[in-house]
Amino acid sequence: MKVIPRPRWWYVPLTGMIFFLLLSIHVSCSDRDDDIATDESADPPSETGAIADFAYQLTNYPDDQLDELAKAPQDLAVIDLSSDGGEHYFTLEEIVTLKKSGKKVLAYFSMGTNETYRPEYEAVVKAGLQLNHWEDWPDEYFVKYWEPAWWELAVKGRVDQAIAAGFDGVYLDIPNAYEEIDLDLVPGENRESLAKKMVAQIIDISEYAKGKSPGFWIFPQNSPELRRYEGYTEAIDGLGVEDLFFMDTDVPCTEDWCAENLANVLALQEAGKIILAVDYADKPENKVYACERYAVYGFAGYVSVVALDRVMLPCGT
C-alpha cells in the first residue's frame, strides 16, 4: 500500500491557503445541516482503510489490455465495463488478472444518460426514454432513469456484466442528471422529485447487486448532496467526486457550490464511506496542492486529464 506523504504547508501557494481557510470556515458552518440526513451509518464498508489512492482510466487502453493499469501502484482502479465503450467487455480472466496486482476494481457506467456508442443506445431511444441532449458531452442524452424500461434495457445488464466479470463494484456516473433534465420534457416533475427518483435508482442498484454478490461495492460519482435523502447513505460504500479543488482544467474551485460539495463529502466520510477524489490539473503546483488536500482530508486522490485516457502517477511520486 502506498502511504500518502504528510502535507508540506510551506509549499502551498498563498492563494491556495486562503482558499483552504475559506473552505474550512464553510465546512464548520455547514455542520448545522448534518442532521438533515437521517440514515447515515457509522459502519464503514469492509477494507475501507486499504484504499489510499486510485487510478481512473476510461479509454485508450493499450492494445485493449489492462497491463499498464496492473503495473500501476495504486490500490484501486476505476475502468469502463468494456475496452471500447461498446460490446468488447472486459472478461473475468482480465479482471481477475488486474485484481492479482493487489487492486480493487470498479466498473464505470452512466446511470443518468444514454450514450450513443453503448450497445443499448437504439433500444433506449425506441423505448421513448431519451430526453434532452447534454451540451457538455456530445454523445450523451439524459434519460427517464426512473422508468422500469431503463432498468431492464440498460442498468440491470450492466450490473450483471460487472458481477460476472469479477469487478469488486460499480462506479455510477451522472447522478446529477436530476439537475440537468429539461423540466419541460417531464411534466409534473421538479428537481426535488427527480432527486428522490435518482436516490431510488441508486438504492435499487445497491439492493440488486448486493443480493447477487454480497460485499459488492456501490460508488456513485458526484452529487454528494443526495446524502440528505433517506436510504442513500446506507446504499453506498463510497463516493467518487470530481473538481473538489480544481475545475477543468487548473481552475481553482472557489464557487459556493465547491464548499458545499466538500462539506457533503466530509459528512459522507464521517459516515464511514470511502472517498475517491479526482481533480483535473496540468500545472505542477496545482497537482501538488490537490494532493496535499487529499492528505489533509484523508481522501484517496487522483489528479488527471479530463479525457481520462491514460494512467497518471499517484500523489507523492
- Taking only the tens place, the pLDDT of each residue in 224-283 is 999 999 999 999 999 999 999 999 999 999 999 999 999 999 999 999 999 999 999 999
Q: Model's pTM, two decimal places? A: 0.86
Report how far Cα 268 is from the mean position of its chain's Cα atoms. Answer: 13
Is pLDDT of 301 > 50? yes
pLDDT confidence of residue 43: 36
Question: Model confidence over 168-227: pLDDT tens digits?
Answer: 999 999 999 999 999 999 999 999 999 999 999 999 999 999 999 999 999 999 999 999
> Cα 39 from chain centroid?
21
pLDDT in tens, 80-127: 999 999 999 999 999 999 999 999 999 999 999 999 999 999 999 999
User: Cβ neighbours of residue 307 under 8 Å, at least 6 residues apart?
Assistant: 59, 60
E strand or H helix that includes residue 278 = strand 274-280
- The count of other CB atoms within 10 Å of the CB of residue 250 is 14
Kindly report the average pLDDT of the chain as a whole number. 88
